[in-house]
Homo-oligomer: A and B are copies of this chain.
Amino acid sequence: MYRSETFVRVRYGETDQMGFVYYGNYAMYYEVARVESLRQLGLTYKELEDGGVMMPVLENKSVYLAPALYDDNLRIVTTLREKPGVKIIFEYEIFNSSGKLIHQGQTLLAFVNKNSGKPCRPPEHFQNVLKPFFE
């Protein structure tokens, strides 16, 4: 298992007239969380894509337990439970500034060769860096 955390501050433009973060904006928080999660291992999604591998999202699930508010400095705990193969599952738990769990999410992504559009394994370096967490 690999677990990491990152912080995202809620922007005004991400709220809606209900006074909460719009439900559609959590997906962007997930993106930040998984990208920073990988960066903490020295892996960047940008390099992956520049290297010819992209990671489109196949499935996404969100559970909204309590609203996130403007200017909240959200703590997002990102978890990889299983060693990534052709697919990779990121889980997210979002806590508000008071430490309350307000949101749970899960995203299934595929590794896809940019030229062929076909599923592929993650690059060797990517696999090597993650390997120790799943032994």
A106 to chain B, nearest CB (A): 10
Interface majority SS (helix, strand, loop, mixed), chain A: mixed
Chain A: interface residue total (CB-CB under 8 A):
36
Whether the Cβ atoms of B54 and A58 lie closer than 8 Å is: no
Q: Determine whether the beta carbon of A63 is less than 8 Å from that of B59.
A: yes
Residues of B within 8 A of A35 (CB): 12, 71
Closest to A71 in B: B46
Using a CB-CB cutoff of 8 Å, which residues 8-63 of chain A contact chain B?
11-13, 15-20, 22-28, 31-32, 35, 44-46, 49, 54, 56-63
Say if the beta carbon of A67 comes within 8 Å of chain B: yes
Per a CB cutoff under 8 Å, which of B44, B56, B61, B63 touches A67?
Answer: B56
Known contacts being A12-B35, A28-B11, is A64 close to B56, with CB within 8 Å?
Answer: yes
Taking CB atoms, residues of chain B closer than 8 Å to A2 are: none
A60 to chain B: closest residue by CB: B62
| Chain A interface residues (CB < 8 Å from chain B) | 11-13, 15-20, 22-28, 31-32, 35, 44-46, 49, 54, 56-64, 67, 70-71
Decide: B20 and A31 in contact? CB cutoff 8 A.
Answer: no
Chain A to chain B contacts (Cβ below 8 Å), 7 pairs: A11-B31, A12-B22, A44-B71, A46-B70, A49-B70, A56-B64, A60-B61
Measured between beta carbons, the chain B residues less than 8 angstroms from A24 are: 13, 24-28, 31
